[in-house]
Amino acid sequence: MKYYSLNHNSSPTSFMKAVINGLAPDKGLYFPQEKVILSKDFIESIKNIDDVEICYEVMNKYVGDEIPKQKLIEIINNTISFKIPLKKIEDSIYSLELFHGPTLAFKDIGAKFMAQCLDYFKSSYSSKKITVLVATSGDTGGAVAKGFSGTKDIEVCILYPKGKISKVQERQITTNGDYVKAIEVEGDFDKCQSMVKKAFNDEEIIRKIALTSANSINVARWLPQMFYYFLAYKKINNKKDNLFSVPSGNFGNICAGILSKSMGLPIHHFIASTNVNDTIPRYIKEGLYEPHSTKKTISNAMDVSDPSNFIRIQKIFNSDLQRLRKNVSSFSFNDTETEDVMRLLYNSFDYLTCPHSAVGYLGLKKYMDVNKISNVNGIFISTAHCIKFKDVVENSIKTSIKYPKSIKDILNKEKKSLSIENYSELKDFLLSRV
Ligand SMILES: *Cc1c(COP(=O)(O)O)cnc(C)c1O
């Protein structure tokens, strides 16, 4: 499979190059050149096929012959090594729990897959030691750190904003093996991100270090997110319409769902559920793409006002707004609505959600209400474990929640991080590693 840039100013490239580069040289996102359609036979017999084999079938055309079959199967096996339950909450409403991975959020899947691809390709990439440099607002850092455990000769540097991520998130970033360097930045996420960008454009650094990013727009993080739509479908044993409500920020997760549908997976409709950063709900309603400035919310992994993956969704629908509307609805919710529904889910169904997943539930209910829909498989994606946002959740449900054992263990580990204030300190640190 070749990948082309959605900016159309770079030539098409291999899967390997797309994974290593992250972004095309013209700064466009990569998109697969050919449409992949799965056979009806495959879709109809999914219930009898082994999980790893399903994911192999979904992924293999996108990878092509660049990774041998046995290796790709091994990569997939390591990627989906935790349970992905589909829990019934009430009539017609299910939660697809993607938070049972090593860092308790769905990003584990993309990060694990990408780390293994980079590990496989690294010898073709550079003879130098590879450094993955990434900025995080919370969930990405831990997922990337854990994703690279088990790879060799790859160092992972994670920049995070001091005091602006949750305690659990911080521990997940700062308590790993020596291959992870956690860098605490005096400032906000935007500052972390701009320092990372600066490093990628710094000639001295690029000359001396084989830098790569673990950005969420990387095709090796985006595409494996299709796995859980297929695996969820496998678990459904009726012929009702399947609706997926996806808590969305950068729109990578939902874009993988939409691509799954385009390959033949029977999904009736998508609901893109957002917090008050509502560029897409407004776009779908009014047809105008007008990002406002980003607002801080309690579902902070979705505090994005200009979602990078939206251009891929536009591509899938050929920028046809009517087709988009036919397939995707979008609603936004504020923090009060989110807190109220976390409390409702806890009190009425004894179900704990993180604020992002709660937004997903709200979007699903609203779509079903507005369209008077019942008797469907309404699935909202639960993107993170509530414990990652302990304070927010406890404040909403007015009850304290306990740490699971796996988290207690890392809370007791010693935090290891380097504190920096500006770019020159980051540069000195990176060069000191050569
Ligand atoms: C990253 C993240 C999201 C948003 O996912 P996108 O693919 O960026 O739309 C939602 N919830 C949680 C918990 C996340 O970490």
**For the chain, what is the mean pLDDT?**
95
Is 107 annotated in the active site? Answer: yes
- Nearest-5° Cα angle at 25, 180 to 208: 45
> Which among 29, 221, 248, 253 is the best mutation to test ligand 1's pocket, defined by most ligand atoms within 8 Å of the CB?
253
> 215 CA distance to ligand 1 centroid (A)?
13
Q: Which fold has domain 84-106+221-397?
A: Rossmann fold (3.40.50)
Ligand 1 site: residues with CB under 6 angstroms?
A: 105, 107, 139, 247-253, 301-302, 356, 383-384
> Which among 139, 218, 270, 277 is the best mutation to test ligand 1's pocket, defined by most ligand atoms within 8 Å of the CB?
139
| 264-288 mean pLDDT | 98
> 300 CA distance to ligand 1 centroid (A)?
9
Q: From atom 14 of ligand 1, which residue's Cα is the shortest distance away?
A: 301
Q: What is the pLDDT of residue 21?
A: 87
**For residue 405, what pLDDT band results from cuts at 50, 70 and 90?**
confident
Query: What pTM value is reported for the model?
Result: 0.95
> 356 CA distance to ligand 1 centroid (A)?
8
Task: Give yes or no for residue 137 having a pLDDT over 90.
Answer: no
**For residue 390, what pLDDT band results from cuts at 50, 70 and 90?**
very high
What are the tens digits of pLDDT across the range 107-122? 999 999 999 999 999 8
**For residue 311, what pLDDT band results from cuts at 50, 70 and 90?**
very high
- The Cα–Cα gap between 291 and 278 comes to 8
Q: From atom 2 of ligand 1, which residue's Cα is the shortest distance away?
A: 301
Q: What is the pLDDT of residue 279?
A: 97
What are the tens digits of pLDDT across the range 167-209? 889 999 999 999 999 999 999 888 998 999 899 999 999 899 9
| 89-110 mean pLDDT | 96
Task: Give yes or no for residue 125 having a pLDDT over 80.
Answer: no
Q: What is the pLDDT of residue 218?
A: 94
Q: Which atom of ligand 1 is nearest to the CA of 356?
A: 11
Residue 218's Cβ-side half-sphere holds a number of Cα atoms within 13 Å equal to: 28
Q: What is the pLDDT of residue 406?
A: 81
What are the tens digits of pLDDT across the range 208-245? 998 888 888 999 999 999 999 999 999 999 999 999 99
Q: Which of 27, 83, 88, 107 is catalytic?
A: 107
| 264-276 mean pLDDT | 98
**For residue 134, what pLDDT band results from cuts at 50, 70 and 90?**
very high
- The Cα–Cα gap between 380 and 250 comes to 17
Q: What is the pLDDT of residue 49?
A: 98
> 253 CA distance to ligand 1 centroid (A)?
7
Beta strands in 119-275 (DSSP E): 130-135, 154-161, 180-185, 210-213, 242-247, 269-274
- The Cα–Cα gap between 271 and 322 comes to 15
**Residue 161: C-alpha distances to residues 147, 169, 431 (Å):** 21, 11, 22
Token pair belonging to 214: 């673990």
> Which among 221, 250, 294, 300 is the best mutation to test ligand 1's pocket, defined by most ligand atoms within 8 Å of the CB?
250
What are the tens digits of pLDDT across the range 48-71? 999 999 999 999 999 999 999 999
Closest CA to 356 of 388, 325, 328, 394: 388
SS3 367: helix
Q: What is the pLDDT of residue 213?
A: 85
- The Cα–Cα gap between 269 and 367 comes to 10
What are the tens digits of pLDDT across the range 241-265? 999 999 999 999 999 999 999 999 9
Q: What is the pLDDT of residue 257?
A: 98
Q: What is the pLDDT of residue 127?
A: 78
